[in-house]
Amino acid sequence: MSYESVETVMRRVADELIRPRFRALSEGDIDTKSGPHDLVTIADVESEKALTPCCARLMTSPWWARRQPSTTPR
């Protein structure tokens, strides 16, 4: 996978998952991770899920392989 194709995927994710929610989140679209000031939105979670497979193919670091989106809100 080339860096150009990563850019294409990032633009698609932004267009489909992030931009439509910009300034349009409802209360149910916002959660916390590790504490009350550590906010995460549905756009964060969905975009990370969409980008992880693409980026994982490029990244060889053990850190990236272990990095998974948090699916359990706290």
Asked if residue 19 belongs to a domain, the reply is yes
Report the number of distinct structural domains present in the chain: 1
Asked if residue 74 belongs to a domain, the reply is no
Predicted pLDDT at 41: 96
The gap from C-alpha 17 to its chain's centroid, in whole angstroms, comes to 9
Asked if residue 52 belongs to a domain, the reply is yes
Range of the domain at 17: 3-66
**pTM for the whole thing?**
0.68
Predicted pLDDT at 55: 76
Asked if residue 16 belongs to a domain, the reply is yes
Asked if residue 73 belongs to a domain, the reply is no
- What CA–CA distances, in Å, run from 5 to 19, 30, 61? 20, 30, 20
pLDDT in tens, 3-58: 667 788 899 999 999 999 999 999 999 999 889 999 999 999 999 999 888 777 77
